[in-house]
Structure 1
């Protein structure tokens, strides 16, 4: 007897709404300096290692091998659990064509296969999120079935090995044993947001973690899958969540911090159009009620997130962090420059100036002063000695190799610190 059945698993097309979060990267500025004895140099032709120091700070290291079942499969399987093990064995190795010999009652073979595939895929949400089209054919008699599978993925084994190498390199730059759960989640959120521009224009699948890592572009599915991979590598319990927003399908994460579940949407923490080095925290460690204002999901399928312990993070924009303190533009107070102690959530206003594109070097903060023409300004980290360095509109500040880089209408400029 020959019977054929086909199952298709279609990758969810996930989209992100567009927010207008400010200016794009502009080019160079005219030399004009007032009130400070500093030298502004043209930096348009500088070969920079990165606009964001985290972006390509990948340590070349031999990555761990893919996490797979390190066992040899038997020639045939007899139970649902063994059938599930076989499917997981092949899926975890990103195999595209394989055959499983099932020896047992085939009276409900279709449901048996569906259950085994579903449970195998659910063992690892990272694999689950990368599954694409699947075709299953089988031939059987009363107590014997040959199951042939053609499975496609958003990536392949070679690409996943690159993901493992790069994730291992990124995580090697921190010391997980010395970090709190909060610090681990913030590190991952900041890395992904700073290094990625939301885009569907990728060579690899924009829905994959590979595209986000390799091309620094992708969509929410790729953001969430990379966050899952990195957080699990740091020892943070994490789930991959599929739901909807007003534009359609969407993906994000649930993370467990200090024993409590919270939502993390790295995609919606990333301003669009992309703003270099700017991270938002409106969707950072929030509860069901808050994210439920604009996200929907099948809540029964996921843990409950009922704590709002980190809601204070939502006020933070254009953040610069140093020694456990975050210097930021306070969205709840007209984007005035503030300082926050992340261990307590206590905030202090540093000045009456509206600040964006905040960076730091030593005891000084540098920012675009939107209370004074978006001019380049500096202030000490204790809020004293504020002054204007450059009387022209600047944006997209970053520090590299002892220089402060910034953009104005004339191009990229730099100032030695």
Structure 2
């Protein structure tokens, strides 16, 4: 006599908390006459064909993929382990409807199926993070069972191919062998933050990595899953973490840098509302002690993060990195302009001026000077020869083709350097 049983498994989709990274420093000032001998050009209608690394990046599609699924469909499914292998085979191909024949004792068939599903899902955290509603029906007798599965995902096989292609294109812009673990993690954090706006308003699921790479929008789950995929492709050991913050469910990553585990929350490193190319490092390579101040998770499920080596990164805002140096607005010192030597750890204040939207060209740094009304200023990288070059509040600076571009209340402007 055959018995028929149906059960459902639902994967809860996470929501990103509303998080105010802090007040933006803005001074209300009167516009003064420009006393500098420079040429200010209106760039509002100019088409920027090749955006620099300080501006929003355009992802180029390629025909390559990151990894090939190495699962194999067992020819005979007779144990829980083989059943898990069969489930993983179908999950890894993003298949929605499939059947599995199980030949073996069915005394604890429900437990066998549940164990196999859990083992298959946990085999790949990227796939696990994209699993959605699941319906399983099975007919069985004492000798075996016919198992029918309907599995839905936050994405599909075609979309995942796009993710693979775009991630390959992103990582192809750098040489992983030339980067340290720290630099690899920073590259991924910076790329995701610069190219993503936190939003639930997406065509694809905002919880998927696909929405992030295709629409440049998404929520914490998408941020963390894309970070997982990019970092693993970079050779950085990474975990996908599911936990809680004050507004509810949340997702982020654990990463191993030089043998030590650290927390990385790319979502909370992305200021809201979106600040274009500005990257925060308030949740970059944090230890458990700091992270648990506003995040909670089942710590026994994940490796411990005890190192405080990179705690200094929390003070970094509006960062511009070049030649092993980070020039940044120091949130612990009233947003004054600092220089951090990544090789020696030496940290130097360059000026008493409060700086935001920092960019560089040749020997010079350019920034919005909020000690002087947000005016466009420049200073040499050694901290000398500081001056105001445009007496009007500016923001969202970037450099391209020998010019510095900036927004004003009258539109996009540029100065040739």
Q: Which residue does the alignment assign to 1:275?
A: 275
Report the Cα distance in structure 2 between the residues aligned to 1:143 and 1:34, rounded to whole angstroms. 90
Q: Which residue does the alignment assign to 2:142?
A: 142
Give how far 1:51 is off: 6.0
Relative contact order (alpha carbons < 8 A, sep ≥ 6): 1 or 2 greater? Answer: 1
Give how far 1:409 is off: 0.9
Pairing 1:10–2:36 present: no
Structure 1 runs of 4+ aligned residues shifted over 4 Å read 20-24
TM-score under structure 2 normalisation? 0.95
User: Where do residues 107-122 of structure 1 align in structure 2 (5 Å cutoff)?
Assistant: 107-122=107-122
Report the Cα distance in structure 1 between the residues aligned to 2:59 and 2:297, rounded to whole angstroms. 34
Q: Which residue does the alignment assign to 2:179?
A: 179
Q: Which residue does the alignment assign to 1:402?
A: 402
Instruction: Provide, for residues 338-380 of structure 1, a one-character-per-residue CA deviation record: whole Å limited to 9, x for no partner.
Output: 0001123220010111000000011100000000111000001
Q: Which residue does the alignment assign to 1:63?
A: 64
Report the Cα distance in structure 1 between the residues aligned to 2:180 and 2:343, rounded to whole angstroms. 10
Report the Cα distance in structure 2 between the residues aligned to 1:112 and 1:72, rounded to whole angstroms. 18
Q: Which residue does the alignment assign to 1:385?
A: 385
Q: Which residue does the alignment assign to 1:90?
A: 90
Q: Structure 1 residues 276 and 368, CA, compared in 2 at 3 Å: closer, same or farther? A: same
Pairing 1:33–2:44 present: no
Pairing 1:284–2:284 present: yes
Report the Cα distance in structure 1 between the residues aligned to 2:160 and 2:263, rounded to whole angstroms. 26
SS at match of 1:296: coil
Pairing 1:221–2:258 present: no
Q: CA RMSD in A?
A: 1.7
Pairing 1:155–2:155 present: yes
SS at match of 1:7: strand
Give how far 1:9 is off: 1.8
Q: Which residue does the alignment assign to 2:28?
A: none
Report the Cα distance in structure 2 between the residues aligned to 1:288 and 1:326, rounded to whole angstroms. 25
Instruction: Provide, for residues 76-109 of structure 1, a one-character-per-residue CA deviation record: whole Å limited to 9, x for no partner.
Output: 3001110010000000000000000000000000
Q: Structure 1 residues 414 and 323, CA, compared in 2 at 3 Å: closer, same or farther? A: same
SS at match of 1:48: coil
Give how far 1:208 is off: 0.4
8 Å Cα contact 1:396/1:406 also seen in 2: yes
Give how far 1:52 is off: 6.0
Report the Cα distance in structure 1 between the residues aligned to 2:56 and 2:125, rounded to whole angstroms. 25
Q: Which residue does the alignment assign to 2:256?
A: 256
Report the Cα distance in structure 2 between the residues aligned to 1:31 and 1:87, rounded to whole angstroms. 68
Q: Which residue does the alignment assign to 1:343?
A: 343
Report how many residues are paired: 410
Give how far 1:20 is off: 5.5
Give how far 1:167 is off: 0.1
Give how far 1:144 is off: 1.0
Give how far 1:21 is off: 4.4
Q: Which residue does the alignment assign to 1:412?
A: 412
Structure 1: runs of 5+ lacking an equivalent? 25-29
Report the Cα distance in structure 1 between the residues aligned to 2:33 and 2:142, rounded to whole angstroms. 86
Give how far 1:57 is off: 4.1
Most deviating of 337-346 and 110-119? 337-346
Give how far 1:60 is off: 3.8
Q: Structure 1 residues 411 and 32, CA, compared in 2 at 3 Å: closer, same or farther? A: farther
SS at match of 1:13: coil
8 Å Cα contact 1:105/1:142 also seen in 2: yes
Report the Cα distance in structure 2 between the residues aligned to 1:22 and 1:412, rounded to whole angstroms. 24
8 Å Cα contact 1:16/1:267 also seen in 2: no
Give how far 1:17 is off: 1.6
SS at match of 2:347: strand
User: Where do residues 289-304 of structure 1 align in structure 2 (5 Å cutoff)?
Assistant: 289-304=289-304
8 Å Cα contact 2:51/2:57 also seen in 1: no
Instruction: Provide, for residues 159-196 of structure 1, a one-character-per-residue CA deviation record: whole Å limited to 9, x for no partner.
Output: 00000000000000111111110000000000000100
Instruction: Provide, for residues 25-49 of structure 1, a one-character-per-residue CA deviation record: whole Å limited to 9, x for no partner.
Output: xxxxx995323x2211101101123
Give how far 1:10 is off: 2.8
Q: Which residue does the alignment assign to 2:49?
A: 49
Report the Cα distance in structure 1 between the residues aligned to 2:280 and 2:238, rounded to whole angstroms. 20
